[in-house]
Amino acid sequence: MISISSRRAGSAAVVQVSGRIDVETAPDFEHACVEVVRGAEKVVVLDLGGVQYISSTGLRSLLVIGKELQERGGVLRLANLTPTVGQLFEQSRFYSLFPCFDSVEKAANG
């Protein structure tokens, strides 16, 4: 199960996610985030503080969202990675692909 909501934080759009991002939930996650991007947002912060697990399908969704933003001249920033997700990002080297911050506020301000 996954919960997704969005809000503003300064000039950034924040997408708050909780639950698991896996083969079942990744399509909904990706769709919700791409809709935010298509709303002419240049900075999107994904608040992953409530995400307990992310599969390879979820990682693929992050790449799609990041590419969509990049093509529009924007940037995807990640915030509040849990230890489990942080470890996965370290092992898969996703830290080198997306700027990661320890709070939404820091991510929104870059």
**What is the arithmetic mean of pLDDT over 5-21?**
94
What CATH number does the domain located at 2-109 have? 3.30.750.24
What is the rounded distance in angstroms from the CA atom of residue 7 to the CA atom of residue 80?
Answer: 16
Q: Given a cut of 80, is residue 40 above it in pLDDT? A: no
Instruction: State the pLDDT at residue 33.
Output: 94
Q: Global pTM?
A: 0.93
**Among residues of the chain, what percentage have pLDDT more than 90?**
85
